[in-house]
Amino acid sequence: MYMKKYPCVYMRGGTSKGIFFHEKDLPEDKTLWDEIFLKVMGTPDVKQIDGMGGTVSSTSKIAVISPSSREDADVDYNFFQVDIVIPRVDNSSNCGNLSSAVGPFAIDEGLVQAVEPITVVRVLNTNTNKIIEEHVRVKDGRAMVHGDEEIKGVPGTGSRIDMYFEKPAGSKTGKLFPTGNKKDIFDVPNYGSIEVTFIDCANPVVCFRAEDIGIQGTELVELNNNKDVMEHIERIRGMAAERAGFVENWEDARKTSTSIPKVAIISKPQDYVDMDGNEVKAEDMDMCVRAISVGKLHKACPMTVAVAIGSASKIEGTIINDIVKPDKDQDIIAFGHASGVTKVDVKLDGEEVIKGGVTRTARRIMDGYVYVRD
């Protein structure tokens, strides 16, 4: 029995890591990709011991990059979320954190000409058919790695990358609010009714208050061990998936729509200790959030969730706006997550989301070949 090898680059983007492939280096028959990606990550296996996966959703990701045929984009970026415990590859949504590595990858791989001091890379995310504009610092023809930008959830500092999600509304459903409502009441089987805001902005995200599921909203990884609460969350997520048409029955979402919708558990600003043991103060945030991704607490926050909750915070009638109550001209929304405080810059025209901006860092970790069993 032989092994096949594929050229690739292993990159960190924001608080995520993933394997980057040129589309030209993968089989033309895309029906073969899922099996390759499962083997690359070592799925299904909670340890992912026989692959490159890191046992959490943030480190079990694939990006496939190619030159774009669209005049308004430089490269196409196709994202794949590889599950860990079930043999599933989800291509239905984007990863905002990993997106930040696309610009540096495109520059270093010669897909975009490097222009000092900042190269603007326009990325078409093919999962959502939305443009992400990335401003990448460049020196000597390559994306810079060193810098003084710090992002919560990543040790040390790096070179700043400014990202703008352009017109992010309706990424999967075609609507900013998939149900047509800014608030909905879900009657959750065995748990009762709960008020939610379901917004599709960069990714579909279902949002609800921490107190409405019986938690404080400052919990960390111990939340994963609370089976009753996690089941409650999954049922809410499944009902949102059904309302959006991702699944026919809400029960199917845990197997066939594992990546979307995302979940944002919202609460008022609170003091807490983050995952690195640092004290986070209520006065430094506009809201507290705990994000759930692929059935687990996200150890920071997906950037697509940041854009969604930041946008919802500025739209009257959402449960997030009820909590944040931003000033009329306030564009910067700060939210406390499991690894600290992050800010999102959201521009709206009325209730139309023009763009959502975030700052990330990214770097190449290794390049070479990944080997998979034939």
Q: How far apart are CA 17 and CA 246, in angstroms?
A: 26
Instruction: Indicate whether 307 pLDDT > 70.
Output: yes
Q: What percent of the chain has a predicted confidence (pLDDT) above 90?
A: 93
Q: How far apart are CA 14 and CA 263, in angstroms?
A: 19
Confidence of residue 139 (pLDDT cuts 50, 70, 90): very high
Query: Which residue is it, tokens 């093919």?
Result: 126
Beta strand 204-209 with 192-200 is antiparallel
Instruction: Indicate whether 328 pLDDT > 90.
Output: no
Q: Alpha-carbon Rg of the chain, whole angstroms?
A: 20
Determine the average pLDDT of the residues in 134-143: 97
Domain extent listing, the chain? 3-171+361-373, 184-344
Which CATH number applies to 3-171+361-373: 3.80.10.10, 3.10.310.10, 3.20.20.100, 3.30.420.610?
Answer: 3.10.310.10
**Predicted local distance difference test score (pLDDT) of residue 294:** 85
- CA angle 134/156/59 to nearest 5° reads 65
Determine the average pLDDT of the residues in 349-353: 94
Scored b (16 or more CB within 10 A) or e, 159-178 reads bbbbbbbeebbbbbbeebbb
Instruction: Indicate whether 131 pLDDT > 90.
Output: yes
Tens of pLDDT, residues 253-300: 999 998 899 999 999 999 999 999 999 999 999 999 999 988 899 989
**Predicted local distance difference test score (pLDDT) of residue 207:** 98
pTM: 0.90
Tens of pLDDT, residues 216-235: 999 999 999 999 999 999 99
Q: How far apart are CA 125 and CA 107, in angstroms?
A: 17
**Predicted local distance difference test score (pLDDT) of residue 49:** 96
Q: Could you tell me which of 362, 275, 344 has the C-alpha nearest to residue 304?
A: 344
Tens of pLDDT, residues 36-47: 999 999 999 999
**Predicted local distance difference test score (pLDDT) of residue 374:** 83
Q: How far apart are CA 98 and CA 29, in angstroms?
A: 25
Residue 280, CA atoms < 13 Å, CB-side half-sphere? 26
**Predicted local distance difference test score (pLDDT) of residue 366:** 97
Which CATH number applies to 184-344: 3.10.310.10, 3.20.20.70, 3.40.30.10, 3.40.50.620?
Answer: 3.10.310.10
Domains 3-171+361-373 and 184-344 share a fold: yes
**Predicted local distance difference test score (pLDDT) of residue 259:** 87
Q: Taking the CA atoms of 90, 305, 106 and 367 in sequence, report the sign of the dihedral they define.
A: negative
Instruction: Indicate whether 1 pLDDT > 80.
Output: no
Determine the average pLDDT of the residues in 89-103: 94
Token pair for 256: 């066939």
82: β partners: 89
CB 130 within 8 A of CB 93: no
Which parts of 289-340 fold into alpha helices (H)?
Answer: 303-313, 319-324
Determine the average pLDDT of the residues in 84-97: 93
